[in-house]
């Protein structure tokens, strides 16, 4: 193998933007599509709509103004002619396309003003003796300043100089009937001209099947190894004492459902083990996850440990605080509330109480994981709506219990250092050794770990089965699939904005009958989103106040100071405010049983999970509840599909399944906040059978082929472990 050439720093920076941090990453930077430069077509044979490569002589070339400055060339091959048109061009292109030059042009043919034409085709000088390529030409994902030619050269060098040894043992290869890794990678980068373009671009070819399987297998190995590793870490053993927990259950004004009791029992058993619990508690909107979390927190307190509950918004954090304060006050427990809007003095006092261990339960937003917050004896971390937090945030809070305030930031700095490493010759071998050490540490459990707190994550966005199998394979999952008695089904209506006056009358009638209503204004996705959202809410509030002088209309949005926001929400909960105009700050956590009507403006702009969450704010009392989704026409195909799904379905798991098909896993998991790519090649909606095989193979490899498992992880998952397991 030849030694690879050194890569310039500017190119390294651009490669890093694509997630290419080591030379080996180049092997798995696979094409988006291909161009067929292996054959020439006579110009007379080309038809509009086809992509073709032609060769001929420039018979005419001019810069015309039609109406803008355009380079127009006429290409002839003796049997026909074709126009080449360039809206943006350089003097060098004019020289290349001068009259008399012989060139090859490849592009899409279409009907133009003067006849058949190609707009901005790829051109290069050629003569009758210029050979044709022997394989299809790959077109790679790229970034500004990084040309296809540079990528092809770098990838060709990596294919020539790097080992392509198969990480799957031969028995598993035979059992799975998979193509070899080396042949698959080489074929995808340089496919022969006779291969089916449809199977390549549709990712159904055997080579793609191997790559997708390897990606899923790496993910499963990593998750399985993490699951095993937890069994080798120490965590405080929080045995059930049945004092505080039993007292809370006795004091509650309602009985736990069977699903809540089952989830509580599963969590209680995990807490009683000397290894860290990492459990996902999922349940639909209003299923009663908070009381199960409260029982888990009490079990930690019964054993002399602290618990922390982190929520994504101040409104949700405060709702949890008020609810838990009322539940726990009879038990002699006063939680601390910690958010970014607290006054400096109050924040300092809260931090001091947490550090001294005077408070057993801390509830708050991201403020809980800031560096100045130190826990004396943290035994349990609860993260609500966990997918709304970035991975760094979840890691930072989790590591508050591992022995020092600096550990979280050190971990993040280490990750950032790894992300910024170059893919040059000098760093590449070291990177691979470090990745190998990390993979070995994961599988063998060779590292010494300090005690870590137990972790309970909660989500009201139900996770579809394939998503849970893929991204939560290292977690234990509890599901609350039973709504408390008394919850009434919510009727959903789709109403065009042209019928706005009818909606006004429906709201007026409901409020005058003694019921309450929400009017929700959406976030507008523009650069000044927060300002526009605020203005939209204020204008809607003014319009409704004018339309309903006999009704008390309140306003809640993210820019209100904490005291005013608290006052408005308390007034709405007490029934003093009949109609609450709000932004999506009320998406989670708000519980007003008398509110039985919700109007959501511009529902076509919202995602399914958000619409379902908002709708879950009503239907909490005995009155028949109605959710009106106001939409503006014309609707895009995606918006139409979303509204149809939310109209036809009330089950959160079914809605999440549709959401996965529409959007992919990223937004459901909070991946967009993590900075780490999710699956690049496999598709959970199409490759469920491969995922099942990858799960089974992962267990077999960890048991029978640990060296091969290490090699596989090294190839696919270097420097990403912490982020996948947060």
Average pLDDT, the chain: 83
Q: What string of DSSP letters covers 119-136? A: ES-EEEE--TTPPPPSSP
Residue 433 lies in a domain: no
Q: Return the residue matching tokens 């109480």.
A: 353
Q: Which two tokens stand for residue 413?
A: 């700095």
Identify the pLDDT of residue 665.
Answer: 58
Number of domains in the chain: 3
Residue 668 pLDDT grade (very low, low, confident, very high; cuts 50, 70, 90): low
Residue 164 lies in a domain: no
pLDDT in tens, 78-102: 899 999 999 889 888 999 999 999 9
Q: What string of DSSP letters covers 673-718? A: GTTS---SS--TTT-HHHHHHHHHHHHHHHHH-HHHHHHHHHHH-T
**Domain CATH for 98:** 2.40.50.140
Identify the pLDDT of residue 362.
Answer: 95
CA angle 415, 417, 420 (to 5 degrees): 110
- Please list the alpha-helical segments (H only) found in 588-664: 608-615, 637-648, 652-663
Pair 462, 501 in one domain: no
Residue 44 pLDDT grade (very low, low, confident, very high; cuts 50, 70, 90): very high
Are 628 and 598 in contact by the 8 Å Cβ rule? The answer is: yes
Pair 99, 76 in one domain: yes
Inter-residue long-range contacts of 534-537, CB under 8 Å, 24+ positions, other chains counted? 534/558, 534/559, 534/583, 536/601, 537/581, 537/582, 537/583
With 60 as the cut, is the pLDDT of residue 34 above it?
A: yes
pLDDT in tens, 684-713: 778 888 988 998 999 899 999 999 999 999
Identify the pLDDT of residue 533.
Answer: 54
pLDDT in tens, 326-339: 999 999 999 999 98
Q: Which two tokens stand for residue 616?
A: 């879950």
Residue 617 pLDDT grade (very low, low, confident, very high; cuts 50, 70, 90): confident
pLDDT in tens, 240-261: 999 999 999 999 988 999 999 9
DSSP state of 224: H
Higher local confidence (pLDDT), 114 or 584 = 114
Pair 638, 588 in one domain: yes
**Domain CATH for 567:** 3.40.50.300
Pair 463, 367 in one domain: yes
With 80 as the cut, is the pLDDT of residue 724 above it?
A: no
Q: What string of DSSP letters covers 327-377? A: HHGGGT---EEE-TTS-HHHHHHHHHHHHHT--SEEEESGGGGSTT---SS
Pair 626, 556 in one domain: yes
Angle between helices 428-444 and 706-716 (to 10 degrees): 130
Query: Which among 491, 494, 553 has a CA at the least distance from the CA of 518?
Result: 553
- As a whole number, mean pLDDT of residues 448-453 equals 64
User: Which three-class secondary structure state does DSSP give residue 626?
Assistant: strand
Cα→Cα distances 10→21, 145, 152, 341, 417, Å: 13, 9, 17, 42, 18
Cα–Cα distance measured from residue 308 to residue 353, given in angstroms and rounded to the nearest whole number: 13
Higher local confidence (pLDDT), 315 or 206 = 206
User: Which three-class secondary structure state does DSSP give residue 505?
Assistant: helix
User: Which three-class secondary structure state does DSSP give residue 9?
Assistant: helix
pLDDT in tens, 136-160: 999 999 998 999 999 999 999 999 9
Identify the pLDDT of residue 201.
Answer: 84
What whole-number percentage of the chain has pLDDT above 90? 49
In Å, the largest CA–CA distance within the chain is 95
Residue 392 lies in a domain: yes
Identify the pLDDT of residue 105.
Answer: 96
With 60 as the cut, is the pLDDT of residue 28 above it?
A: yes
Identify the pLDDT of residue 663.
Answer: 64
- As a whole number, mean pLDDT of residues 212-238 equals 86
Q: How long a stretch of residues is the chain?
A: 726
Identify the pLDDT of residue 565.
Answer: 81
Which residues span the domain enclosing 498? 490-649
Pair 619, 550 in one domain: yes
Are 270 and 454 in contact by the 8 Å Cβ rule? The answer is: yes
With 50 as the cut, is the pLDDT of residue 423 above it?
A: no
Residue 717 lies in a domain: no
Residue 716 lies in a domain: no
Query: Which among 165, 186, 193, 327 has a CA at the least distance from the CA of 248?
Result: 327
Identify the pLDDT of residue 666.
Answer: 53
Cα–Cα distance measured from residue 599 to residue 493, given in angstroms and rounded to the nearest whole number: 10
Residue 527 pLDDT grade (very low, low, confident, very high; cuts 50, 70, 90): very low
Residue 6 pLDDT grade (very low, low, confident, very high; cuts 50, 70, 90): confident
Pair 523, 586 in one domain: yes
Residue 419 pLDDT grade (very low, low, confident, very high; cuts 50, 70, 90): very low
Domain end among 86, 116, 131: 131
Strands (E), 539-589: 553-556, 579-582
Pair 571, 469 in one domain: no
- As a whole number, mean pLDDT of residues 379-393 equals 69
Cα–Cα distance measured from residue 58 to residue 721, given in angstroms and rounded to the nearest whole number: 56
Give Cα 420 distance to the centre of its chain. Answer: 22
Domain end among 597, 632, 649: 649
Are 513 and 649 in contact by the 8 Å Cβ rule? The answer is: no
Residue 238 lies in a domain: no
With 80 as the cut, is the pLDDT of residue 431 above it?
A: no
pTM for the whole structure: 0.66
Residue 446 pLDDT grade (very low, low, confident, very high; cuts 50, 70, 90): very low
Residue 303 lies in a domain: yes
Pair 293, 378 in one domain: yes
With 90 as the cut, is the pLDDT of residue 538 above it?
A: no
Identify the pLDDT of residue 672.
Answer: 38
Query: Which among 562, 517, 524, 555 has a CA at the least distance from the CA of 538?
Result: 555
Cα–Cα distance measured from residue 160 to residue 149, given in angstroms and rounded to the nearest whole number: 17
* Residue 176 burial (CB count, 10 A): 18
What whole-number percentage of the chain has pLDDT above 70? 83
Identify the pLDDT of residue 96.
Answer: 92
Residue 587 pLDDT grade (very low, low, confident, very high; cuts 50, 70, 90): low
Pair 476, 521 in one domain: no
Pair 541, 590 in one domain: yes
Residue 150 lies in a domain: no
Identify the pLDDT of residue 474.
Answer: 66
Pair 464, 575 in one domain: no
Domain end among 649, 665, 700: 649
* Residue 564 burial (CB count, 10 A): 12
Cα–Cα distance measured from residue 308 to residue 310, given in angstroms and rounded to the nearest whole number: 6
With 50 as the cut, is the pLDDT of residue 425 above it?
A: no
């Amino acid at each position: 193998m030849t030694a690879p050439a050194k890569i310039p720093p500017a190119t390294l920076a651009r490669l890093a933007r694509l997630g290419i941090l080591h030379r080996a990453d180049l092997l798995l930077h696979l094409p988006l599509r291909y161009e067929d430069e292996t054959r020439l077509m006579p110009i007379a044979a080309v038809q509009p709509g086809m992509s073709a490569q032609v060769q001929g002589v420039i018979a005419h070339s001019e810069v015309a103004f039609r109406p803008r400055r355009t380079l127009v060339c006429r290409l002839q091959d003796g049997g026909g002619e074709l126009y080449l048109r360039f809206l943006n061009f350089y003097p060098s292109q004019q020289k290349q396309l001068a009259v008399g030059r012989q060139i090859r042009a490849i592009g899409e043919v279409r009907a133009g003003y003067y006849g058949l034409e190609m707009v901005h085709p790829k051109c290069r000088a050629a003569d009758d003796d210029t050979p044709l390529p022997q394989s299809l030409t790959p077109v790679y994902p790229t970034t500004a300043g990084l040309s296809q030619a540079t990528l092809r050269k770098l990838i060709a060098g990596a294919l020539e100089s790097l080992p392509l040894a198969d990480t799957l043992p031969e028995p598993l290869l035979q059992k799975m009937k998979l193509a070899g890794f080396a042949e698959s990678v080489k074929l995808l980068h340089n496919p022969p001209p006779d291969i089916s373009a449809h199977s390549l671009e549709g990712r159904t070819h055997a080579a793609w099947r191997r790559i997708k399987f390897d990606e899923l297998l790496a993910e499963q190995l990593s998750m399985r190894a993490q699951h095993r590793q937890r069994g080798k870490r120490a965590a405080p053993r929080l045995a059930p004492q049945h004092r505080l927990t039993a007292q809370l259950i006795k004091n509650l004004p309602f009985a736990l459902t069977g699903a809540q009791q089952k989830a509580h029992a599963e969590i209680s058993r995990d807490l009683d083990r000397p290894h860290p619990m990492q459990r996902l508690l999922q349940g639909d909107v209003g299923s009663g996850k908070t009381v199960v979390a409260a029982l888990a927190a009490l079990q930690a307190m019964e054993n002399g440990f602290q618990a922390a509950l982190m929520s994504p918004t101040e409104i949700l954090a405060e709702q949890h605080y008020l609810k838990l304060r009322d539940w726990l006050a009879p038990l002699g427990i006063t939680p601390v509330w910690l958010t970014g809007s607290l006054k400096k003095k109050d924040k300092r006092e809260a931090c001091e109480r947490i550090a001294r261990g005077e408070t057993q339960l801390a509830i708050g937003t991201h403020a809980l994981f800031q560096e100045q917050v130190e826990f004396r004896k943290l035994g349990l971390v609860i993260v609500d709506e966990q997918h709304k937090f970035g991975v760094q945030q979840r890691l930072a809070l989790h590591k508050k219990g591992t022995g020092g305030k600096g550990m979280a930031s050190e971990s993040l700095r280490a990750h950032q250092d790894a992300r910024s490493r170059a893919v040059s010759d000098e760093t590449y071998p070291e990177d691979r050794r470090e990745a190998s050490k990390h993979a070995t540490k994961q599988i063998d459990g060779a590292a010494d770990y300090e005690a870590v707190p137990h972790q309970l994550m909660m989500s009201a966005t139900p996770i579809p089965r394939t998503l849970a199998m893929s991204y939560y394979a290292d977690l234990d999952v509890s599901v609350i699939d039973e709504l408390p008695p008394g919850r009434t089904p919510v009727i959903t209506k789709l109403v065009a904005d042209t019928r706005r006056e009818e909606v006004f009358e429906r709201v007026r009638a409901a409020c005058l009958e003694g019921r309450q209503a929400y009017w929700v204004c959406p976030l507008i996705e523009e650069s000044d989103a927060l300002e526009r959202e605020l203005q939209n809410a204020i204008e809607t509030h003014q319009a409704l106040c004018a339309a309903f002088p006999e009704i008390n209309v309140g306003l809640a949005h993210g820019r209100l100071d904490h005291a005013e926001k608290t006052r408005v929400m308390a007034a709405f909960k007490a029934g003093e405010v009949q109609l609450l105009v709000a932004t999506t700050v009320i998406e989670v956590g708000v519980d007003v049983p008398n509110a039985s009507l919700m109007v959501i403006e511009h529902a076509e702009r919202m995602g399914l999970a958000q619409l379902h969450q908002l709708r879950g704010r009503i239907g909490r009392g005995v009155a028949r509840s109605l959710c009106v989704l106001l939409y503006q026409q014309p609707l895009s195909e995606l918006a139409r599909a979303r509204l149809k799904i939310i109209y036809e379905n009330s089950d959160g798991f079914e809605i999440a399944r549709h959401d996965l098909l529409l959007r992919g896993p990223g937004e459901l998991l909070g991946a967009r906040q993590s900075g780490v790519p999710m699956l690049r090649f496999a598709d959970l909606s199409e490759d469920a059978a491969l995922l099942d095989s990858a799960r089974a193979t992962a267990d077999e490899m960890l048991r029978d082929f640990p060296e091969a498992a290490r090699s596989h992880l090294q190839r696919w998952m270097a420097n990403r472990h912490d982020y996948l397991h947060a």
